[in-house]
Structure 1
Amino acid sequence: MPRVLLIEDDPAVRDGVALALRRQDHEVAAAETGEEGLERLRSFRPDVVVLDLMLPGMPGLDVCRGMRALDQTLPIIMATARGDDEDIVVGLEAGADDYVVKPVQARVLDARIRAVLRRAAAGGAEAGIPKIETYGDLAVDRAGFAVSLRGVPVPLAPSEMRLLLTLSASPGQVFSRQQLLEAVWEHSYHGDSRLVDACVKRLRAKMGDSGHIQTVRGFGYRFAAR
């Protein structure tokens, strides 16, 4: 059973979402505040976190950053009020892998949870592709689901890893944001290009000034095999 840590301050929402997830075969631990959520992260060891951005005391964005400091690879799905575009962008840049809008629909949340867990579990094992590829000082181990820069491991969240694997599998090919949404997040009709842009920004920051991920204005992104 997937272990889900739900951090939500509204008791009615928290209990309703937790009940719905349990009915969908998830093991759920719930927390009311960000501080409690960080404590449960250590004791419960979840497979994925569902994090409300609007929390009393410690803001959700700080909780997200704190969790990323503790675990770079833990999938985080943030919940945000409809129309809070700025919060969505900032949350994604803080390290969230995906988001859902409130009121949270149980089926949508279940689908997002299972999608992000599939990305984490699938790793980079892809038949017919060499296990380790090197691009200058960047090494991508597809089978081992690992990346190193100048010999130093680079911890990546599942969405960051899948994005890098997708781009680097076809060096020079330009991918539109919609293509990347479908390949990395499994979003089609309801895809949001902000997921791609925020993930690219985080990935570039972790990869330093390698210059491998290039923006093609008006089209999308490509991987330059320097």
Structure 2
Amino acid sequence: MPHTLLLAEDDRAIRQALQRALTLEGYDVTAVDDGVQALAQGHLLCPDVLVLDVMMPGIDGLQVCRVLRAEGDRTPILMLTARVETADRIAGLDAGADDYVAKPFDVEEVFARLRALLRRADHRPDGEASAGNPLVVADLRIDGRARRAWRGERELELTRTEFDLLELLARNSGIVLDHPTIYDRIWGYDFGLGSKNLAVYVGYLRRKLDTPDTPALIHTVRGVGYVLREA
């Protein structure tokens, strides 16, 4: 059975071209042109994955994400955005998106990111994250079965990608993971040497983990990657 995909994009040319390309790639695509329809069709169709434009009339893509996540909907969401500043990317992650592609985009990159999101969704909850006892590093505790994490007594509100990244680093506590390894384990492919995608996710994860009263857990090893360890 083909994966069902809901596409919400208000630019007619982009919507039609992307719908055609995704259909040829084997997806069962439903396309709409605003956020109101995206929410309605999302509730009706229960798609395997959503592709949402950020800027849409009525309800924008960020608000669609917030509503779905507030309802407990964990469907993977890929955002399409013309905004490339770090703050705009962070806004998408904070709203509940799992990944994003900046316009103008290469359709092959969209395909790759969708494959990675679907692989990760298909592998839950029976994959590595659900095995064994909760992970504990310093005052960080991660429950893979429930997909919940705490720093001390404070529960962390994490997106799917943030949780996967934090868990990967915690399972390899004290070990420096290089960029290609992290890209392969979290996204299933390499974004390329010029990508800042990983740095954005790490930065936002740090903002959720650290407070002025707690030591940093995720450390940058310049030119190599990242490591999670006690201070």
Query: CA, structure 1 residues 54+204, in 2 after alignment: closer, same or farther (shift >3 Å)?
Result: same
Q: Report if the CA contact (8 A) 1:73-1:157 is conserved.
A: no
Distance in structure 1 (CA, Å) of the matches to 2:215 and 2:73 = 21
Query: CA, structure 1 residues 68+192, in 2 after alignment: closer, same or farther (shift >3 Å)?
Result: farther
Deviation of 1:213 after TM superposition, in Å, equals 6.8
Query: CA, structure 1 residues 83+125, in 2 after alignment: closer, same or farther (shift >3 Å)?
Result: closer
Q: Report if the CA contact (8 A) 2:22-2:29 is conserved.
A: yes
Read off the aligned partner of 2:168 and give its amino acid letter: T
Q: Report if the CA contact (8 A) 2:52-2:80 is conserved.
A: yes
When normalised by structure 1's length, the TM-score is 0.78
SS in 2 for 1:132: coil
Structure 1: tracts of 5 or more residues without a match: none
Range moving further from structure 2, 106-115 or 91-100: 91-100
Read off the aligned partner of 2:89 and give its amino acid letter: I
Deviation of 1:190 after TM superposition, in Å, equals 5.4
Aligned to 1:167: 169
Aligned to 2:30: 29
Structure 2: tracts of 5 or more residues without a match: none
Distance in structure 1 (CA, Å) of the matches to 2:132 and 2:117 = 23
Query: CA, structure 1 residues 65+200, in 2 after alignment: closer, same or farther (shift >3 Å)?
Result: farther
Distance in structure 1 (CA, Å) of the matches to 2:171 and 2:74 = 21
Aligned to 2:141: 138
Deviation of 1:163 after TM superposition, in Å, equals 0.8
Query: CA, structure 1 residues 100+190, in 2 after alignment: closer, same or farther (shift >3 Å)?
Result: farther
Aligned to 1:59: 60
Aligned to 1:3: 4
Aligned to 1:223: 228
- The 5 Å alignment of 1:1-226 reads 1-71=2-72, 73-81=74-82, 83=84, 86-123=87-124, 125-126=127-128, 131-135=132-136, 138-141=141-144, 144=145, 146-147=147-148, 149=150, 157-176=159-178, 179-185=181-187, 186-189=189-192, 192-198=195-201, 201=204, 205=208, 214-217=217-220, 219=222, 221-224=226-229
SS in 2 for 1:46: coil
Deviation of 1:33 after TM superposition, in Å, equals 0.8
Distance in structure 2 (CA, Å) of the matches to 1:193 and 1:167 = 18
Count, aligned residues: 222
Q: Report if the CA contact (8 A) 2:94-2:159 is conserved.
A: no
Distance in structure 2 (CA, Å) of the matches to 1:159 and 1:26 = 23
Read off the aligned partner of 1:16 and give its amino acid letter: A
Deviation of 1:8 after TM superposition, in Å, equals 0.4
Deviation of 1:72 after TM superposition, in Å, equals 5.5
Deviation of 1:188 after TM superposition, in Å, equals 3.9
Q: Report if the CA contact (8 A) 2:10-2:32 is conserved.
A: yes
Read off the aligned partner of 2:161 and give its amino acid letter: S
Higher relative contact order (CA 8 A, sep 6+): 1
- Deviation per residue, 1:23-51 (Å, 9 max, x gap): 11111111211111111111111111111
Read off the aligned partner of 1:215 and give its amino acid letter: I
